[in-house]
A and B are shown apart, each in its own frame.
Chain A
Amino acid sequence: MYSRRNFPNQKPNEHVILFLRRHWIAPLKIFFIGFILALIPVLLYFVFSSISALWERESFMAMFILALSGYYLFVLLYTFADFVDYYLDVWIVTNERIINIEQKGLFARVISEKELVIMQDITSEIEGFWHTVFNYGDIFIQTAGEKERFVFKQVPRADEVARKISNLVSESRRLRQGALEDWN
């Protein structure tokens, strides 16, 4: 496992300023969906429990138990895999760059990074009832390239984070400019 203070490809004198994941609403949704899926067989039992002829056959009982066990194992695996997908999505803002680590399914992982000095536009968006109540949203960061490079999805206090990144970008440019002037 990595550490929040020591991450892969860390440069000398580079330290983490912001370590972000999606708001806790995201894993709560995952576990809530898992809970609802786990309730479905219970509801179906109340519907079919009156058909006593079925339950008396040993072959039906065996198939039912195996099917139910398989279903619950599937629900567990689905919920766990969803949590792993959530947990492995992180956005790291250091004093030098922004690192975007995104897990796409089980066998795909995208890691992109850009220096702070080339960030052009930083926009935060908090839209919707739940986003407003729990204060989370998206941050869009435009680099000097043509396409939107980074999207921080459902991060807590998106407006504060965007402001902080903007200040870091300004500070980074000021330091770079100062270093160039010293060199000249």
Chain B
Amino acid sequence: MSISISIFLILYLIYLLIFFIFSLFNVWHLQRFGFSGFWPYAITFGYIAATILVLAVTVIFLIPIDWSTPLPFFESLPID
């Protein structure tokens, strides 16, 4: 039995879900309780743009990864 590195991808996706929930909370708070002006829209747009950039770069670097590669710990164990 071996565990592949895809487990980290699953943990990362769970982390992403939590990130999106908290992001929505913040955007909703700003929209619901904030006073209208240039900066809330500008900062929100900048935040969304930066998030998309981070996710895009992450996807680009993750595409070539073989997710079936076993974890380093399990590589060294003999399989009987």
Interface residues of A (CB under 8 A from B): 1-4, 7, 19, 57-63, 65-66, 69-70, 72-74, 76-77, 80-81, 83-84, 87-88, 90, 101, 103, 106, 109
With A65-B62, A69-B58, A76-B47: A87-B23 Cβ-Cβ less than 8 Å: no
A-B contact number at CB 8 A: 100
Check if A77 sits within 8 Å of B22, measured CB to CB.
Answer: yes
Check if A1 sits within 8 Å of B22, measured CB to CB.
Answer: no
Chain A's interface: helix, strand, loop or mixed, by majority? helix
Enumerate chain B residues within 8 angstroms of A66, measured Cβ to Cβ: 8-9, 11-12, 58, 62
Chain B's interface: helix, strand, loop or mixed, by majority? helix
Interface residues of B (CB under 8 A from A): 5, 8-9, 11-12, 15-16, 19, 22-23, 25-26, 29-37, 39-40, 43, 47, 50-51, 54-55, 57-58, 61-62, 65-67, 69-72
A178 to B10, CA, bound (A): 71
A69 to B58, CA, bound (A): 6
With A3-B36, A62-B65, A76-B54: A84-B30 Cβ-Cβ less than 8 Å: yes
Check if B12 sits within 8 Å of A88, measured CB to CB.
Answer: no
**30 A–B contacts, CB within 8 A, in A order:** A1-B36, A3-B35, A19-B35, A58-B66, A58-B69, A59-B72, A62-B8, A65-B61, A65-B62, A65-B65, A66-B8, A66-B62, A69-B54, A69-B57, A70-B12, A72-B54, A76-B47, A76-B50, A76-B54, A77-B22, A80-B23, A80-B43, A84-B26, A87-B39, A87-B40, A88-B29, A101-B33, A103-B29, A106-B22, A106-B29
